[in-house]
Structures are given as structure tokens and as C-alpha cells.
Amino acid sequence: MSVVIIDYGSGNLRSAEKAFMRAAAEHGLKDAIVVSSDPQRVARADRIVLPGVGAFADCMAGLSSTVGMVEALNEAVLNRGAPLLGVCVGMQLFATRGLEYKTADGLDLIHGEVRALEPNDPSLKIPHMGWNVLDEVRAHPVLKDIPLGPDGLHAYFVHSYAIRPERPEDVIATADHGETFAAIVGRDNIIGTQFHPEKSQALGLALIGNFLQWTP
């Protein structure tokens, strides 16, 4: 099995690679974890990871400027059904559009918009940076055996914007920072986390391990 982490000039690629290799080893999996900017490799991948750090429009421009990458992603995910994991801004790119600084079209894999966080407590800082628990909205295989809720494991967030899915059923888990926002979204063979699994220690490694074994 091949797992391709897409390199389009954005994301904690080495950190993500190490986390996936560790999770694979801990679960006794022999998946080949590869960081690649080759669209053909993405098109053939068994599983795909789309990372992202920075502004929505910049990340989307970087992805689009890698010739053939969006087409390869669509071929693998929409036509072949390869599982896709988006991380942070990589997950936000699933949206129809992003409204960060300017309006920019996204991949439209999850219908909705990416808009600024608006905490109802003025003492809460933006960006939202730090550890939060997750509240499960609906069961999903990537959350198997992961303790959630007030006494559950924590995930690490760094963001000022959040995806607002049009369909409530596309929200899998939420978190709170003066407002409730989507922490995990997904449908079919697509899953995305606003937090960084590669930085989320026990929760992150468990989620990555579940993703590597997930058969949508």
C-alpha cells in the first residue's frame, strides 16, 4: 500500500512523514509513506494526505500551480475512491471557497465556506493556538477507540479560520474556542482535521493509524 503526502510547497511535510511512519510501525502496517510532488504518483496512490499551512488562497494557488495535481487528486479520490486525509489548511481546501483576505475557490469536496473564527469571548486570542478536546458529532472509523469529550484526549490547533460545511452530516467532530467549530469533517472516502494530527501526540497517532486502516 502506498501513502502519498502531497508536496505542493505548503505543510509540515517531514513532521507529517515521521508521524505516519511511526503510526504505521505501531500498528504493524507495511505501508510505503512517501512525500511527493508528482501528480502521477498521487493519481496511483492507495491513500493520500493533503497538508497545508498558511493562507487559504496561497495554499490553493500552490496546489493549482503544480501542473496536473488537482486533476490527479480528483482522479484518485473521486474516480478511484482512494481515502483522502486533509490536515489544517489542507482540510480547509476541501471547501467550496475560502474568505481569508480575499475570496478564493477551493476543491469543493465539502460544500461550504472557510470563514474567520469569531469567539464570543473577547479575551480569547486569535489565532486559536493550543490544545483542545473534541466532541464527537457522529461515529467514524478514524475515531475508533479514541477517547473524546471533556475527559478525552487533546488535539493541537493553530488556526484563525474554520470550515463551515453546508451539510450538518459532513461534520464529524467539533471543538470550542468561544464558538463551536468543525474540527473534523468528512464524507464518503474523504476526511479532514482542522488540528494537526502530527503534533497531537496520542490522539494524532491513533487517528493516523485508524486512517491507514480505514476502508471506506
Active site residues: 88, 196, 198
Yes or no: say if 51 and 16 are a contact pair by the CB < 8 Å rule: yes
As a whole number of angstroms, the distance between CA 61 and CA 73 comes to 15
Please, what is the Cα angle at 103 between 98 and 107, to 5 degrees? 45
H or E, element range at 6: strand 2-6
What is Dmax (Cα atoms) for the chain? Answer: 48
Enter the C-alpha cell of residue 151: 475527559
As a whole number of angstroms, the distance between CA 87 and CA 50 comes to 6
Q: How far is CA 37 from CA 3, 45, 49, 63, 198, in A?
A: 13, 12, 12, 10, 20
Three-state DSSP class for 93? coil
Nearest alpha-carbon partner for 104 in 40, 159, 161: 161
Entry field: residues in the chain: 216
